[in-house]
Amino acid sequence: MHLNAGLVDEFSIALSPVLFGAGTRLFDGVDASRVALEPVRSEPSSRVTHLTYAVHPR
């Protein structure tokens, strides 16, 4: 995964509350002992919440 390899500096997520019944785990495979996520920004609206995280090595 690119997060474990240190190839990502920052990422953004657009989170929308829609239930599909199944899905893919977003952080599956991330080694929490090597990667720290720092919340940078959260911008809520009525339909979507935009989340931004900085990625730092531990």
| Per-residue pLDDT tens digits for 11-55 | 899 998 877 777 777 888 888 898 899 999 999 999 999 999 999
Please report the pLDDT score of residue 52 as a whole number.
97
Considering the entire predicted model, what is its pTM? 0.76
**43 neighbors 15 (Cβ within 8 angstroms):** no
Our measurement of the distance from residue 4's CA atom to the centroid of its chain's CA atoms, rounded to an integer in Å, reads 13
Residue 1 has pLDDT above 70, yes or no: no
**32 neighbors 56 (Cβ within 8 angstroms):** no
**48 neighbors 14 (Cβ within 8 angstroms):** yes
Q: How many helices (H) and strands (E) does the chain have?
A: 0, 3
CA-to-CA distance for 23 and 43, rounded, in angstroms?
Answer: 23
